[in-house]
Amino acid sequence: MQNEFVAFMISLDRYVFVGYLLLLIIALLVNKKISSVTTAFFTLCCWQALSVSVSQFLYEQASHDGILYKFFWYGAWTVSNLFFIWMIYQFHLMQKLRATSIAIAVSMLILSNTAIQVLDFIDRATANSGLMANIYQLFIPASNIAIIPVVIYLWCFEYRKNINIAAAGA
């Protein structure tokens, strides 16, 4: 039962890029300019595109025996995830944008995925208990899927807040 659920979550995770791309397109149509929201959605798209494009290569490398191959898997994900967090920060800094709750949520998603990956690597390299493996297999696809309704909610909340501010100022 659990293996079927994990397989189902992973199959859904493969289509997450479409959801991220739709969010980016809608944000560009609504905002019509670079904003914290479009920056966050652009980063999500790039992050997922990289994940899809390098997963197979990294998986092939990690399937070899030896801790260095496992380190390569986890190290590559950690470095790429930290790059995308830096990318969100750098875009906001360069464009002098205020970070919205959406950008913070996306950064926290990437950071939490990185933390789970690091903990799983530590578990595999030391105790090899497999405890983190189950969490890792479920958390990564579940969080990638769950971020879509979360950012939609946050976006609607911010939009409503901006309308209320504009109405109060008029």
User: Residue 146 has what pLDDT?
Assistant: 93
Query: Is the pLDDT score of 137 beyond 90?
Result: no
Secondary structure in 3-state letters for the chain: CHHHHHHHHHHHHCCHHHHHHHHHHHHHHHHCCCCHHHHHHHHHHHHHHHHHHHHHHHHHHHCCCCHHHHHHHHHHHHHHHHHHHHHHHHHHHHHCCCCCHHHHHHHHHHHHHHHHHHHHHHHHHCCCCCHHHHHHHHHHHHHHHHHHHHHHHHHHHHHHHHHHHHHHHC
Domain carrying residue 58: 2-169
Q: Which of 44-58, 99-113, 117-131 has the lowest mean pLDDT?
A: 117-131
Query: Is the pLDDT score of 110 beyond 60?
Result: yes
User: Residue 102 has what pLDDT?
Assistant: 96
User: Residue 81 has what pLDDT?
Assistant: 96
pLDDT confidence bin for 163, thresholds 50/70/90: confident
User: Residue 7 has what pLDDT?
Assistant: 76
User: Residue 143 has what pLDDT?
Assistant: 92
Query: Is the pLDDT score of 170 beyond 70?
Result: no
User: Residue 126 has what pLDDT?
Assistant: 87
Query: Is the pLDDT score of 1 beyond 60?
Result: no
**Tally of structural domains, the chain:** 1
